[in-house]
Amino acid sequence: MSVEESLANGSAEAEDVVTPWTVSSQNDTGIDYDKLIKKFGSCKIDDEMLKRFEKLTGKKPHHLLRRGIFFSHRDVNVILDSYEKGKPFYLYTGRGPSSDSMHLGHLIPFMFCKWLQDVFDVPLVIQLSDDEKAIWKNLDIEQAVKLSYLNAKDIIACGFKLEKTFIFSNLEYMNSAFYKNMIRIQRSVTFNQVKGIFGFGDSDPIGKISFPPTQAAPALSSTFPFIFKNNTVPCLIPCAIDQDPYFRMTRDVAPKLNHPKPALLHSSFFPALQGPKTKMSASDNNSAIFLTDTAKQIKTKINKYAFSGGQATIEEHREKGGNCDVDVSYQWLKFFLEDDDRLEEIRKGYTSGEILTGEIKKELIELLQKLVGNHQEIRNKVTEEDVKRYMEPRDLGFVVKNS
Ligand code: TRP
């Protein structure tokens, strides 16, 4: 029975939908993430894990971890156990370049990866799945590659260390080691399995059906012989939780290919300006703030579209206070305002009615104008040569200490 049918029958509550292609919820506060953890069978990131991060790195956990925005994981303890014993790991994340301008939500996994790379001092590989977007969005192949290069500039502007970062376009980089691993994965997964995991049907182009191994292969260190030589190195993947199906599949096959199962750190979704029922869409210009927006556009969009948890009139707001759980400005501050004390002040003030919607919006506007302006300044300095350097397959100085 479909969700719509169950609803029509009155036999079910509206279920959240989380797949790599659709994220939607009927609830005002968005996806129920605790339910999602149960459904996916992942683990909640708890205080104990945060303490472990702190102990191992000597650094306060990143605010995206402290605030539960990265909220779920698979096997992170296994990675930390071996790291503790002096065995390194590597980080893998990616992006499907579907448009030339990335929006604020796209920055989240990269901001977080940059922090992980800094505190653990490990290599990072970044997949630009232009093949995926060419298949799903029917983009011209050459255009898809161009988008990869444009997006690479935004990614580089997040501050990744050149000596420890390899960025690759699937369409351009595909080499022998990568292809061999894809074939190893392809022959280990049946059509029935991908149907079950991704919902593919008989009429889907076979490009879709055969794509998942392309996203899976970089989670096996042997895909990058120029980085890892003959070593089998565990992989940690920070990503939004809608990407989990790819890695459930990867975790199933990895042991059969003599590789450890990749570990995962899952983030929740960055809400659209209109509210947390959907994730932002690069194709709806007013649902998101783009990294190319001007200071004026940022101000106008937030003032005009940011869903407010405040009351209808000032008098009512002063009396009843605002609702931070649905207020998009507050939710966005949670993602980007690093100062915990200030954030708590805002939460209390807004909830009690002391802070008005216009005021919380003003604080967000100023913060984002600075953040986006800063990003643009750095991005404008990234040259074609820089992009080539990051995208050149090369030794990243990785060594395994023998214990
Ligand atoms: N499929 C992802 C998207 O559409 C892009 C992607 C490729 C990715 N490889 C990844 C995301 C690894 C996270 C981790 O955006």
Nearest CA to ligand 1 atom 14: 93
The answer to whether the Cα torsion of 228, 234, 240, 244 is positive or negative is positive
Nearest CA to ligand 1 atom 11: 94
* Coil vs helix vs strand at 207: helix
* Other residues' Cβ atoms within 10 Å of the Cβ of residue 121: 11
| Alpha-carbon separation of residue 377 from 112, 146, 154, 333 (angstroms) | 20, 21, 11, 22
- Is residue 108 within 8 A of residue 64, CB to CB? The reply is yes
* Other residues' Cβ atoms within 10 Å of the Cβ of residue 315: 10
- Is residue 270 within 8 A of residue 279, CB to CB? The reply is yes
Within 8 A by CB and 6+ apart from 109, the residues are 93, 238, 239, 240, 267
From ligand 1's centre to the CA of 280, what distance in Å? 16
Q: What is the pLDDT along the chain (403 residues), one digit of tens a residue?
A: 454 454 444 445 678 999 999 888 888 888 999 999 999 999 999 999 999 999 999 999 999 999 999 999 999 999 999 999 999 999 999 999 988 889 999 999 999 999 999 999 999 999 999 999 999 999 999 999 999 999 999 999 999 999 999 999 999 999 999 999 999 999 999 999 999 999 999 999 999 999 999 999 999 999 999 999 999 999 999 999 999 999 999 999 999 999 999 999 999 999 999 987 765 666 678 889 999 999 999 999 999 999 999 999 999 999 999 999 999 999 999 999 999 999 999 999 999 999 999 999 999 999 999 999 999 999 999 999 999 999 999 999 998 875 4
pTM above 0.85, yes or no: yes
Q: Nearest 10 degrees: CA dihedral of 371, 376, 378, 384?
A: 150
From ligand 1's centre to the CA of 124, what distance in Å? 14
Strands (E), 76-172: 90-95, 124-128, 165-169
Hey, what domains does the chain have and what are their CATH numbers? 3-272 (3.40.50.620), 288-379 (1.10.240.10)
| Alpha-carbon separation of residue 173 from 145, 225, 386 (angstroms) | 11, 14, 17
Q: How far apart are CA 332 and CA 306, in angstroms?
A: 10
The amino acid at 299: K
The runs of H, that is alpha helices, within 229-294 are 244-253
- pLDDT, residue 29, reads 84
Please write down the HEC assignment for all residues of 24-68.
ECCCCCCCCHHHHHHHHCCEECCHHHHHHHHHHHCCCCCHHHHCC
From ligand 1's centre to the CA of 129, what distance in Å? 7
Q: How far apart are CA 16 and CA 328, in angstroms?
A: 19
Residues with CB under 6 A from ligand 1: 93-96, 127, 129, 132, 215, 237, 239, 243
Q: How far apart are CA 73 and CA 68, in angstroms?
A: 11
